[in-house]
Amino acid sequence: MAPTPDILATFEAAKGFMPVDEGLALYAAARDAGRLGLPLLEVGTYCGRSTILLADAAREGGTVAVTVDHHRGSEEQQPGWEYHDPSVVDDDPGVGRMDTLPTFRRTLYKAGLEDHVIAVVGRSPQVAKVWQAPLGLVFIDGGHTDEHAGADYEGWAPHVAPGGLLVIHDVFPDPADGGQAPYRVYLRALASDAFTEVSVTRSLRVLRRTGLGN
């Protein structure tokens, strides 16, 4: 089942990088995982484009979407890099750093989904260390270095409940198409005793927890 036209239009209008076909695959995975009645967690909020889909699926499943981000931008979003957007830089002269949190809050408000999201402002590994609850879905879409992507996998994959889903974005087997850190995380998950692949949609991979490994 696809999101409603209103939700899809809000997703397409939101600032972010996920294309529609991958968004629809993420939504389908979130609807599937939402049947477990457990929270759906996203690492890497940015401005909330994908959060819209997770939140709507969580609403349908009677659960909640949790999204984790420090809101200072990942490596490739800093000044001078390819994905830098000066419109999300704090214009206070005493700060002058990226701050995507206000844009994210506007995105959720416009989507009418604020009541279905818990936004955690902090660094993923620190949050993962204090997280105790099982999760129906973990969507890894944060920093794209080996250090950050690996830490996201190590911190959050163990929290995926049996039957739950691990979703990894920006998986590019060919280095010419993009960075390799998410691809290496994907290979780690497949090589473990924990996950089997469910679907592939361009750079989005969906895996289900079927075992006890990490």
Cβ–Cβ under 8 Å, residues 182 and 140: yes
> In whole angstroms, how large is the CA radius of gyration of the chain?
16
Rounded CA-CA distance 27/19 in Å is: 12
> How many helices (H) and strands (E) are present in the chain, helices listed first?
7, 7
Q: Which residue in the list 70, 116, 144, 169 is annotated as catalytic?
A: 144
- Residues 52-65, buried b or exposed e (16+ Cβ, 10 A)? bbbbbbbbbbebbb
Q: Is 116 a catalytic residue?
A: no
Residue 43's Cβ-count burial label (10 Å; 0-12, 13-18, 19+) is buried
Rounded CA-CA distance 163/210 in Å is: 6
What residues are labeled active site? 144
